[in-house]
Structure 1
Amino acid sequence: MTMTYRGTTALITGASSGLGAEYARQWAQRGADLVLVARRRERLEELAERLEREHRVRARTLPADLGRPGAATELRAELDALGVSVQTLVNNAGFGSHGPLADQEPARVAEMVQLNVMAVTELTRAFLPDLLADGRGALVNIASAAAYHSTPAMAVYGATKAYVLSFTEAVGYEARGSSLRVLAVSPGPVRTEFFDVVGTRDAAVGAMATPEQVVTATRRALERRTTPPSIVVGLGNRLSAAAATLSPRRVALAVSGRVLKA
């Protein structure tokens, strides 16, 4: 079935570009009002103006750095003050880095864990009671195909995404008696600014997907009568995830190390 989100509001993090902007576009196309969160105010406002004009929805912008401790709690408080209720939460914000852990800046590692793990956890906890009570929307957390592998040269990133996958599947099981759809989405490499932040294309393993392909796969999974707890986007990524599960961990680790040029 094709779902409509008219009469609901979707909160999307990392919405200034890439996957976040595409989630905003496809949800607005189906009638959802939006709360767009990212650090770059100008980009958020440009996106919000365009989506309001093209789809006749309300798009609020809340610039915030979710890599800062306490930002998720402040975001919930700000929405409460505005009287905005949220029916769909898309935890998309995140980043990675490439290289041996010993060479990583400790502050950058801490920021990655804060954004990829703590912000996802805190935002999910902050909004989950309302999402469950309403039941018209969805909880979507962006994991990664890297969640299915140990990832030398991207040790922290892969581990954070493994957390997102496990966390979301568990929350989905807890929510099984409700009408809320809960989904972890694990894409492989996507044509976004992600690799500009990483600083190398060595981490781009497999065929590149477009943001539209990933978000469309998300939406179709949510539209199925029985929502799976998680999806891996792309046939090659699904095969790789299955192979990693079936292979001895030492073998899978060695393959990942060679592929990621660790």
Structure 2
Amino acid sequence: MTTKDVKNEKLPTVLITGGSKGIGFELAKQFAMHGYNLVLAARSEADLKQAAGQLENEYGCGVSTYPFDLTADDSSTELHRQVIDEGIQVDVLVNNAGMGDVGPFAKSDLNRQLNMLRLNIVTLTSLTRLFLPAMIERGNGRVLNVASLAAYFAGGSNWASYVASKHYVLAFTRGMARELAGTGVKVTALCPGATPTSFAGQAGANAMPIYRWMPRLTPAKVALAGYRATMAGRTTSVPGLLNKVFALLGELPPRSIAQWVFEILSRTPSATATETRRAL
């Protein structure tokens, strides 16, 4: 569904998954205010309509919206097909859509785990593969993959598979950045720390110390850092000074110390209560 036709505009176009809320919506604002037309893909058609209306009114940009459940099989292929059939050239791809899940893995909902891995890993990889060749052929383009500060750590209890999925995003981005050297296409991983969006509540992470103790940047500040890093062609961006320190510590040996710190920050109330009972 197209809210305002962008295919005949003489402006660059950015495609943003999960672009109707949170960091994705703030990224849409950044690109819009810098002269981009927008292609937004997200699950909720109502949220997309609301976001598109606001962006069009505030920035006068063209906005195309595509309501897709990106965890569904072949959703990436279908989104790519529809965008190409509309005659839209995607100059920047932002793989922002993602989800999390918190709690002991053995007690987790398997379908939610699989949907998370499909969205965080498979959809991101598929969309990059589908839109990248045209960028390489033109000799110009940008891909922004939204990872997480958690990607720098060796893992922690209660969200092992989520952290692993963000490890993949960071490693994939670094590998692609080297592979694409000299092509004119740059790939960036945005690795925000705790950010006040609906993500933490949906993932069940609000009670974790990392969300209660750590300073939190606004989605707008995270998006600004991501936009600047993307345009500058930097491989990674970790917004916030303290987050930068944690990212550095996460990669320094011995990584077991960083993993221990991360595990403390990732404890859930139930896990802490269990440990207290054991200590008593």
Q: In structure 2, which of residues 146, 168, 173 is the aligned counterpart of residue 168 of structure 1?
A: 173
Q: What residue identity is the alignment partner of 1:220?
A: R
How well do the aligned residues superpose, as a CA RMSD in angstroms? 1.6
- 2:20 equivalent to 1:9: no
The worse-fitting range, judged by mean Cα deviation, of 40-49 and 140-149 is 40-49
Cα deviation digits, residues 135-182 of structure 1 (max 9, x gap): 454110001000011122110110000100000111111111022221
Q: Partner of 1:155 in structure 2? A: 160
**Contact 2:140-2:183 at 8 Å conserved across structures:** no
Q: Partner of 1:78 in structure 2? A: 82
**Contact 1:98-1:153 at 8 Å conserved across structures:** yes
Q: Per the alignment, do residues 136 and 31 of structure 1 end up closer, same or farther by CA in structure 2, a change over 3 Å counting?
A: farther
- 2:227 equivalent to 1:219: yes
Q: Per the alignment, do residues 110 and 246 of structure 1 end up closer, same or farther by CA in structure 2, a change over 3 Å counting?
A: same
Higher radius of gyration, 1 or 2: 2
1:131 Cα offset (Å): 2.0
1:258 Cα offset (Å): 1.8
Output the CA distance in 2 between the equivalents of 1:81 and 1:222.
27
Q: In structure 1, which of residues 134, 141, 156 is the aligned counterpart of residue 138 of structure 2?
A: 134
Cα deviation digits, residues 76-120 of structure 1 (max 9, x gap): 111122222211100000011111101111111100000000000
- Aligned-residue identity in percent: 38
- 2:197 equivalent to 1:189: no
**Contact 1:8-1:137 at 8 Å conserved across structures:** no
**Contact 1:6-1:33 at 8 Å conserved across structures:** no
1:188 Cα offset (Å): 0.2
**Contact 2:99-2:116 at 8 Å conserved across structures:** yes
Q: Partner of 1:28 in structure 2? A: 32
Q: Per the alignment, do residues 191 and 134 of structure 1 end up closer, same or farther by CA in structure 2, a change over 3 Å counting?
A: farther
Output the CA distance in 2 between the equivalents of 1:70 and 1:95.
18
1:249 Cα offset (Å): 2.8
Q: Partner of 1:121 in structure 2? A: 125
Q: Partner of 2:261 in structure 1? A: 255
1:232 Cα offset (Å): 1.3
Cα deviation digits, residues 201-235 of structure 1 (max 9, x gap): 115262111111111112222343xx321121111
- 2:93 equivalent to 1:89: yes
**Contact 1:87-1:134 at 8 Å conserved across structures:** no
Output the CA distance in 1 between the equivalents of 2:251 and 2:27.
29
Output the CA distance in 1 between the equivalents of 2:239 and 2:194.
10
Q: Per the alignment, do residues 70 and 214 of structure 1 end up closer, same or farther by CA in structure 2, a change over 3 Å counting?
A: same
Cα deviation digits, residues 32-80 of structure 1 (max 9, x gap): 1111000011111111122122222110110001111211011111112
Aligned residues: 256
**Contact 2:70-2:123 at 8 Å conserved across structures:** yes
Q: What residue identity is the alignment partner of 2:182?
A: G
- TM-score normalised according to structure 2 size: 0.87
The worse-fitting range, judged by mean Cα deviation, of 159-168 and 252-261 is 252-261
Q: What's the secondary structure of 1:183's corresponding residue?
A: strand
1:17 Cα offset (Å): 0.4
Give runs of aligned pairs for residues 196-235 of structure 1, distance below 5 A. Answer: 196-201=201-206, 202=208, 203-204=210-211, 206-224=214-232, 227-235=233-241
Q: Partner of 1:246 in structure 2? A: 252
Output the CA distance in 1 between the equivalents of 2:37 and 2:31.
8
**Contact 2:143-2:230 at 8 Å conserved across structures:** no
